[in-house]
Chain A
Amino acid sequence: MQPAAFKPVRDPEVQAVTIGDGALTVQLSGAWDIRALESRVRALQTSLQEAVRAGGARWDLSRVDRLDHIGALLVWRAWGRRRPPELALKDEHRTFFESIERPAIAGPDEAAFDPLGLLVALGVRAIAVARHAYWILRLFGQVLLDAASLVRQPVLRPWREFSAGIYSIGGQALGITAMVGFLIGVVLSYLSAEQLRLVGADSLIINILGIGIIRELGPVTCAILVAGRSGSAITAQLGVMRVTEELDALSVMGISRTLRLVLPKLAALGVTLPLLVLWTSGVALIGGALSAQIELDISAQQFLSGLPGAVPAVNLWLGVGKGVVFGALIGLIACHFGLRIQPNTASLAAGTTRSVVSSITAVIVADAIFAVLFSDVGWELR
């Protein structure tokens, strides 16, 4: 069989002619396939519509050399989605119109406007958030139960996973947390120095930096960095394990995924984040002290000796405590979203994003709760 591809092609044409009894006949000729139409579809559409408007009820398509579904569609749509009363067609072209006329294609579908749509969407969102919170709580409970069972069965303790977690969450984050912490110390110090100089309360810079960094900025900055860095990694890792069916493989071997995967990560975060908080706060204080020396002529020695007096030690414990809570929150949220990823790439991307956004939000909400609960604690008594 010789394919149409190798035959010489004539351009598609529309001609209206009057023959015999004076009725108008529209003749189509040439190649009416996608490759011929591609470049001149608009002109042809216009001339088809003109022919229809001129009252062309008799259509002659027997001179069409090549036809395909696109060409047939174009003509059929010009007819107003039904065949004209008189139609001459080559036998081999019949099939194209037959498949177009099946009911599945005919007629557009309208999306109905729902006035309550926005409210419904809001409610759906709220329920989804509540449901996530519920599942996160359940996950936490399961992890606690696992931890209790480990006390009785020390053989099962996942030490390797735990230490690997400490290294990847803590060890590898030392550089970035130090850099960010240092810069925050510098920024805070410069900003406060300007204000303090105005009122001549230079030495209060120790209080501002001490309380601000140890109690607030150190833990929050550190938690946000870890949520972005390790939270996303945990979610993606669990998600990929879902995609590759590794989670199912664990299940059928009777290995608890909370015990093997969630617990060690959670424990590693809970241990590592407070340490990272101390590290970040320390470096931030160094940055602040250096800037204070430059801006306000307060020597590093003066800064260090003034710090214990200005910042009661309970602030340090508050910072460390926040670290533990933030770590647990990040771990729980990351694992929760990781375990809920569907086995496909779109869900993996969405889950990772949601995990990071949720854990950063949760950290800031928890920080606000801390601020309210401990508002009477840790201030210098004069």
Chain B
Amino acid sequence: MKAEPIVEVSGLWTEFGDHLVHRDLNLAVMPGEVVSLVGGSGSGKTTLLRQMLGLERPKRGSIRVFGVPLRGSDPELLARIRRRWGVLFQHGALYSALDVFDNVALPLRELHAFDEDLIRDAVMLKLDTVGIERRHAGRMPFDLSGGMVKRVALARALVLEPELLFLDEPTAGLDPDRSDAFVALIRELHLKLHLTVVMATHDLDTLVSVSDRVAVLADQRVVICDELREVVRCEHPFIRNFFLGERGLRALSAMRAGAPQPV
């Protein structure tokens, strides 16, 4: 059974002024898998993610999500696509004027389909899923710690039951404990709900513990997109540096030893 890719980037060129970010970049994400985008600072991970979300305009090439090209499609169709994906921004992007509950409820309310009672239950359910207690539901975003902001933002990303989840640096700015817990949460969601996950990260531990495949961005393109043990064998200088440096070896050895993942 050959499935169609859920996200397909082909021949993508991105330019900011004179600065070329992507040169003929190709990437396909298959349904149900977790793909991590890695690369050095400024390698265009976040830009690639923004391209997949339709927030940037490609100079050349095409991006299809759920088989629908992001450029030139019917706006109504695109709006339907957007409800099938959830996005976790790097800094959470919670609406500062709304409290935790209203932030998570907003996408549901925007559908104008469900009554307030059902929305309330659904929001509480999602907050519970990400481990936010209901007594925090009335707090404002500025009142939350960094870890809580990320979890509330994840709850908001999940509230429309997405099939595809984009995560931009999901563990950046979290302490190692929180970061491990967040990764465990994402893995659990992936297993339970069979989400497809595309995530930009430069955190090796996150990468090692959740990725099915790793796409390495370097030289303005995806150098390799494969399972981690294949990626590590690649001779590219960035990969040698990134994975076979001291930190990389530590993370990889933890994986090889089959060390139990912290929960």
Interface residues of A (CB under 8 A from B): 1-6, 33-35, 37-39, 41, 68-70, 73-74, 77, 95, 99-100, 102, 104-105, 108-109, 342-347
Query: B35 an interface residue at 8 Å Cβ cutoff?
Result: no
- Contact, CB under 8 Å: A3 / B6: yes
Give A41 Cβ to nearest chain B Cβ, in Å: 5
The verdict on A34 contacting B118 (CB below 8 Å), with A3-B194, A6-B3 known, is no
- Contact, CB under 8 Å: B161 / A102: no
- Contact, CB under 8 Å: A2 / B3: yes
Query: Which of chain A's residues have a CB closer than 8 A to the CB of B1?
Result: 2
- Contact, CB under 8 Å: A3 / B118: no
Query: Which of chain A's residues have a CB closer than 8 A to the CB of B127?
Result: 104
Query: Which of chain A's residues have a CB closer than 8 A to the CB of B121?
Result: 73, 77, 100, 105
Docked pose: A133 CA to B192 CA in angstroms: 56
- Contact, CB under 8 Å: A33 / B113: no
Give A73 Cβ to nearest chain B Cβ, in Å: 5
- Contact, CB under 8 Å: A347 / B133: no
The verdict on A3 contacting B31 (CB below 8 Å), with A34-B161, A345-B96 known, is yes
Docked pose: A80 CA to B242 CA in angstroms: 55
Docked pose: A213 CA to B129 CA in angstroms: 66
Query: B219 an interface residue at 8 Å Cβ cutoff?
Result: no
Query: Which of chain A's residues have a CB closer than 8 A to the CB of B141?
Result: 344
Docked pose: A105 CA to B133 CA in angstroms: 10
Give A314 Cβ to nearest chain B Cβ, in Å: 51
Docked pose: A100 CA to B121 CA in angstroms: 9
Partner of B125 from A1, A100, A346 at Cβ < 8 Å = A100
Size bracket, chain B contacts: 35 or more
The verdict on A1 contacting B31 (CB below 8 Å), with A73-B125, A105-B124, A345-B96 known, is yes
Query: B233 an interface residue at 8 Å Cβ cutoff?
Result: no
Query: B57 an interface residue at 8 Å Cβ cutoff?
Result: no
In the complex, per-residue mask of B219-231: 1 if CB is within 8 Å of any chain A CB, else 0: 0000000000000
- The chain A residue sitting closest to B160, CB to CB, is A34
Query: B66 an interface residue at 8 Å Cβ cutoff?
Result: yes
Please name the 10 residue pairs, one residue from A and one from B, whose CB atoms are nearest each other, closest first.
Answer: A344-B142, A1-B32, A3-B31, A68-B161, A104-B128, A38-B113, A105-B124, A34-B161, A345-B96, A105-B125
- Contact, CB under 8 Å: A99 / B32: no
Give B66 Cβ to nearest chain A Cβ, in Å: 7
Query: B259 an interface residue at 8 Å Cβ cutoff?
Result: no
Q: Could you write out 12 A-B pairs with CB less than 8 Å apart?
A: A5-B6, A6-B4, A35-B80, A38-B111, A38-B113, A41-B114, A69-B122, A69-B125, A73-B118, A74-B118, A102-B128, A104-B127
